[in-house]
Amino acid sequence: MAIEMMEYANNSDNILEVYNLKKYYPISKFVLGKSRSYVKAVDDVSFSIKRGTTMGLVGESGCGKTTVGRTILRLHEVTDGKVFFEGRDLSKIPPARLRKMRPQMQMIFQDPYSSLSPRMPIGEIIGEAVKEHKIVPKSEYRAYILKVMRDCGLQPHFYYRYPHEFSGGQRQRISIARAVALKPKFIICDEPLSALDVSIQAQIINLMKDLQEQYGYTYLFISHDLSVVEYLSDTIGVMYLGSMMEMGDKKKIFANPMHPYTKALLSAVPVSNPDVKMNRIILEGDIPSPVNPPSGCKFRTRCPNAMPICAEKAPVFKEYEENHKVACHLYSQD
C-alpha cells in the first residue's frame, strides 16, 4: 500500500493528475454470461494539468478524447487507473462526498442547442446548481446570478428568457455562465466552439481567456480544431484510438512535432493564405475500429513511416526532451 502511495506522489502544483486511466465498454455478444470483447475507448492515458493553465486534447472523432473528459469527472465509472483532483483520488470518493466536490469541477458541452433545458428560463438554468450547492447566501442569490451573467456577456434582461430565444453563440455563453456560477477550479470544455461560426468563436475564445485571467480557472480543452487549441492551450495532448501519442508544451509540439500522426494532423489544417502551398501528409483510410485495434502501435496501419517492429511491439510513451513525450518507435531505437 505504501509503495502504491509513493508511486502516485502528488505534486501540489498540479490540480489534476491522471495515471493509467482506462475505460472499456463491454460489448455483449451473448444474452447470458460475460462479454468477451470490449471497446477500449480510453486505454492507459496519463497526464497532469498545472493549476491555472489550459491543456488541449486533440484527435480525430472516435479517439476517446470526450471519454477522457467524462471519466475524469466520473460521469462514467473508471475501469482502471487513478484520477487525483487536488490530491484526492476521485475514483475512491463515495458518491455523497463526490457530490459536495462537484462545484469545483464543471463541464461545458459541445452542443449548446441540446445542453440547455428548453423549459427553464436562463436565470434558473444558471442558478439551479448555485441554489443546490448554496454557493452564495439566499439574500445575494439574484445579484450574484446577474453578476455572473454580466461576466459572461449576457444582458440582465435575459434573466427570464428561455433558451429557444437565443442564437448559438449566446447559448454557449449561457452554458459557460452555468459552469462558472459554481466558482469551479477546473472546467472541462468539450468542443465548446465546434457548433459556432468563426466570428462568434472568436468572441467565446476571448470570453474564456478573460475568465481564466480573472478567476484563475484551469481548463481541459477538448477539440479537433488545432488552430483554436494552439491559441488557447499551454500544453497539448494528441490522442489516437484511445491512447496518448504525443504530449508536451504547445510551443514544442507545434515547432517540433515528433509523432507522424501529429505531423499529419498539423499539415492537414487548411491555411488562410492562397499563396502558401502546404506539403501535405495525407493519411490513407479511416481510424480503425477500437474493438480490434491493430497490434503493436495503433497508428501503424495509417502511418507513412511504419516499420516491421511497429506491428510487434507497442511503443513506450517516453520523454525525449523536457516536457515533450512521444510514443513512437522512430525515436526509441538507439
Residue type, 114: S
Please report how close the Cβ of residue 156 comes to other proteins at its closest, in angstroms.
5
The binder of other proteins chosen from 24, 25, 141, 254 (CB under 8 A): 254
C-alpha cell at 1: 500500500
Whole-angstrom distance, CA of residue 36 vs CA of residue 277: 48
**Which cell goes with 184?**
469551479
Shortest Cβ 97–other proteins spacing (Å): 31
Q: Is 319 helix (H, G, I), strand (E, B) or coil?
A: strand
Determine if 271 is a binding residue for other proteins (CB under 8 A).
yes
**Measured distance CA(110)–CA(172) in Å, rounded:** 9
Sheet of strand 54-58, all strands in order from the earlier edge strand to the far edge: 105-108, 186-190, 218-222, 54-58, 235-240, 243-249, 324-327, 317-321
Instruction: Please give the helix or strand (H or E) that residue 55 lies within, else none.
Output: strand 54-58
The CB-of-1 to other proteins minimum distance in angstroms stands at 43
Residue 101 or 205 having the CB closest to other proteins: 205
Cβ 119 to other proteins, closest distance in Å? 11
Kind of pairing, strands 14-27 and 37-50? antiparallel
Pick the stretch among 39-47, 106-114, 278-286, 318-326 that binds other proteins (CB under 8 A).
278-286
User: Sheet containing 88-89: which strands, arranged edge to edge?
Assistant: 37-50, 14-27, 80-85, 88-89
- 245 makes contact with other proteins (CB under 8 A): no
Using rule CB under 8 A, residue 44 touches other proteins? no
Interaction of residue 86 with other proteins, rule CB under 8 A: no
* Pairing mode, strands 235-240 and 80-85: unpaired
Whether 46 contacts 40, CB under 8 Å: no
Build a one-symbol-per-residue string for 142-161: x at contacts with other proteins by CB under 8 A, - elsewhere: ----x--------xxx-xx-
In the bound state with other proteins, the residue whose beta carbon lies nearer, of 4 and 275, is 275
Contact between 87 and other proteins (CB under 8 A)? no
| Spatial separation of the C-alpha atoms in residues 249 and 51, rounded to whole Å | 15
Can residue 39 be called a binding residue for other proteins (CB under 8 A)? no
Determine the straight-line distance between the first and last CA of the chain, rounded to whole angstroms: 36
Q: Does 270 bind other proteins (CB under 8 A)?
A: yes
Q: How far is the CB of 77 from other proteins (least distance, A)?
A: 28
State how far the Cα of 184 lies from the Cα of 188, in Å rounded to an integer: 10
* CB-nearer residue toward other proteins: 118 or 285: 285
- The correct pick among 152, 241, 265, 314 for binding other proteins (CB under 8 A) is 265
Positions in the binding site for other proteins (CB under 8 A): 60-61, 121, 124, 146, 155-157, 159-160, 165, 167-170, 197-203, 205-206, 209, 224, 226-228, 230-232, 254, 264-265, 267-275, 278, 280, 282-283, 285-287
